[in-house]
């Protein structure tokens, strides 16, 4: 596709990922239309057009997309039938709906890895609670809902026989526990022409309770061989899917040096948020370039970096207040990305902080300072 500012890009979803995608699109002067059921969604003020509507509804999506040239998503849980029909009508829909179907159901996703010899933790498909109990795996193991999970919901640990009570009755899968050393991620971009790039491997640290990324470092502290291995596995995964757009590939590095795919996200992802400041091109700009079939950007890092998620404090619900922000802004190489959400809730993703520092120890110190200092509270708490 030749570069044109006359194309209209429709985004299903108006959350922070859409917001940062629009921020990238502003530089390219791309006309953006976004849709979200939340009338004060993060995209509301910066989209050229904001539609307050339900992206899970067939008719709403069809009518939303009517005047769009390219359609993309910032959340997977959208009406796939509509996307499939739009694609049949000849609209550019990226990522492709067929890939969204494969990823949406964790059972199909896992089977896809197995079918394509992509390394992943051992699993069995379980049609109901009873099948979970009859699994050949030894306890403890993981039980994952096929469809409908998000940010840790729909994933649970089965430790003891008592836990079988909470096993999913809906179609799910059981997965062997991975004794991992680190959790890694690579964001891959593939354009319509098939050009492919990867961002440097990141190392993620999860919040123990919220099951959300708490912070990450880039590049991951792993040797060159493992870096290559993770990078080429991520690339291979994107190529197997044949995706157009971004694919974030989350991986486990096991204690014996294996790299296993954990799961993928076919869109900008939390594991690429540091790229907004730490790389010559950001994941958001790269997604735009990929789906508009423009040449992909240079993913080189400007230096070691980190990203800290700003989650709403426990016990605080109401108008958000960013306590300690001035102190954090006093650190060199620190930049805030607030998502424009008026209301904070426990563990709600309210923003993130990027840190760039050539010295890895200073980087860690700054991350710790940010984590200890900056709190999203509510005045009405």
Output the six-digit token pair for 375: 């709190």
Output the six-digit token pair for 25: 């699109």
Residue 155 is labelled as binding a ligand: no
Residue 178 is labelled as binding a ligand: yes
Cβ atoms of 60 and 54 within 8 Å: the answer is yes
Residue 79 is labelled as binding a ligand: no
CA 183, CA 199: separation in Å to the nearest integer?
A: 16
Number of residues that bind a second copy (CB under 8 A): 41
Beta strands in 146-199 (DSSP E): 155-158, 172-176, 180-190, 196-198
Check binding of 338 to a second copy (CB under 8 A).
yes
Query: Which of positions 56-75 make contact with a second copy (CB under 8 A)?
Result: none
Nearest approach, Cβ of residue 287 and a second copy (Å): 14
| Cβ partners under 8 Å of residue 5, min gap 6 | 28, 29, 30, 31
CA 145, CA 105: separation in Å to the nearest integer?
A: 8
Q: Which residue among 340, 343, 362, 365 contacts a second copy (CB under 8 A)?
A: 340
**3-class SS of residue 27:** helix
- Integer CA distances (angstroms), 149 to 76, 141, 153, 172, 368, in order: 11, 17, 5, 11, 30
Residue 106 is labelled as binding a ligand: yes
Check binding of 116 to a second copy (CB under 8 A).
no
Nearest approach, Cβ of residue 295 and a second copy (Å): 4
Check binding of 378 to a second copy (CB under 8 A).
no
- Integer CA distances (angstroms), 278 to 218, 269, 285, 300, 307, in order: 9, 15, 13, 8, 10
DSSP 256: T
User: Which among 1-9, 81-89, 107-115, 310-318 is the span making contact with a second copy, rule CB under 8 A?
Assistant: 1-9
Check binding of 264 to a second copy (CB under 8 A).
no
Strand partners, 344: 318
Q: For residue 95, give the nearest of 241, 208, 222, 206 by alpha carbon.
A: 241
Q: For Cα atoms 26, 22, 186, give the angle at the middle one, nearest 5 degrees.
A: 115
* Cβ proximity to a second copy, 28 vs 180, nearer residue: 28
Residue 181 is labelled as binding a ligand: no
For tokens 């029909």, the residue is: 85
Nearest approach, Cβ of residue 115 and a second copy (Å): 35
CA 313, CA 348: separation in Å to the nearest integer?
A: 8
User: Which among 53-61, 106-114, 228-236, 326-334 is the span making contact with a second copy, rule CB under 8 A?
Assistant: 326-334
Q: Which residue among 38, 39, 45, 150 contacts a second copy (CB under 8 A)?
A: 45
* Cβ proximity to a second copy, 65 vs 328, nearer residue: 328
Q: Which residue among 230, 253, 281, 311 contacts a second copy (CB under 8 A)?
A: 281
Check binding of 329 to a second copy (CB under 8 A).
yes
User: Which among 90-98, 116-124, 228-236, 288-296 is the span making contact with a second copy, rule CB under 8 A?
Assistant: 288-296
* Cβ proximity to a second copy, 72 vs 279, nearer residue: 279
Output the six-digit token pair for 343: 């209301």
Strand order in the sheet with 172-176: 123-126, 172-176, 141-145, 155-158
Residue 211 is labelled as binding a ligand: no
* Cβ proximity to a second copy, 41 vs 222, nearer residue: 41
Check binding of 232 to a second copy (CB under 8 A).
no
Check binding of 146 to a second copy (CB under 8 A).
no
User: Which among 51-59, 80-88, 216-224, 330-338 is the span making contact with a second copy, rule CB under 8 A?
Assistant: 330-338
| Cβ partners under 8 Å of residue 124, min gap 6 | 135, 136, 137, 173, 174
Check binding of 300 to a second copy (CB under 8 A).
yes
CB atoms within 10 A of CB 220: 22
Binding-site annotation, residues: 106, 144, 175-178, 183, 262-263
Binding-site annotation, residues for ATP: 106, 144, 175-178, 183, 262-263
Judged by the rule CB under 8 A, the positions of this chain that interact with a second copy are 2-3, 5, 19, 23, 26-29, 45-46, 48, 277, 280-281, 285, 289, 294-295, 297-298, 300, 302-303, 320, 322, 325-326, 329-330, 332-340, 351, 356
């Amino acid at each position: 596709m030749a570069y044109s500012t006359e194309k209209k890009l429709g985004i299903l979803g108006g959350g922070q990922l859409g917001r940062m995608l629009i921020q990238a699109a502003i530089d390219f002067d791309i006309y953006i239309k976004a849709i979200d059921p939340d009338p004060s969604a993060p995209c509301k003020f910066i989209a050229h057009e904001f539609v307050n509507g339900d992206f899970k509804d067939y008719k709403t999506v069809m009518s939303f997309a009517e005047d769009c040239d390219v359609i993309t998503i910032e959340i997977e849980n959208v009406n796939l039938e509509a996307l499939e029909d739009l694609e049949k009508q000849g609209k550019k829909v990226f990522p492709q709906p067929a890939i969204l179907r494969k990823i949406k159901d964790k059972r199909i996703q896992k089977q896809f890895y197995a079918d394509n010899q992509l390394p992943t933790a051992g699993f069995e498909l379980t049609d109901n609670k009873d099948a979970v109990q009859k699994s050949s795996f030894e306890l403890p193991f993981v039980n994952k809902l096929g469809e409908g999970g998000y940010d840790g919901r729909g994933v649970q640990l089965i430790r003891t026989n008592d836990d079988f009570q909470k096993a999913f009755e809906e179609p799910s899968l059981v997965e062997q526990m991975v004794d991992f050393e680190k959790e890694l991620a690579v964001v891959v971009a593939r354009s319509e022409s098939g050009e492919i790039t990867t961002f440097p491997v990141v190392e993620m640290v999860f919040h123990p309770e919220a099951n959300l990324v708490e912070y990450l470092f880039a590049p991951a502290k792993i040797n060159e061989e493992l870096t290559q291995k993770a990078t080429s596995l991520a690339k291979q995964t994107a190529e197997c899917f044949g995706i157009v757009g971004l694919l974030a590939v989350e991986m486990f590095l096991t204690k014996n040096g294996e790299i296993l795919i954990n799961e993928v996200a076919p869109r900008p992802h939390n594991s690429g948020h540091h790229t907004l400041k730490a790389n010559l091109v950001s994941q958001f700009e790269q997604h735009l370039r990929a789906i508009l079939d423009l040449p992909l950007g240079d993913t080189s890092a400007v230096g070691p970096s980190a990203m800290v998620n700003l989650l709403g404090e426990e016990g605080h619900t109401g108008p958000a207040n960013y306590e300690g922000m001035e102190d954090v802004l006093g650190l060199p190489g620190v930049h805030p990305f607030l998502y424009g959400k008026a209301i904070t809730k426990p563990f709600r993703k309210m923003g993130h902080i990027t840190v760039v520092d050539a010295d890895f120890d200073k980087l860690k110190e700054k991350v710790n300072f940010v984590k200890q200092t900056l709190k999203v509270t509510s005045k009405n708490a």
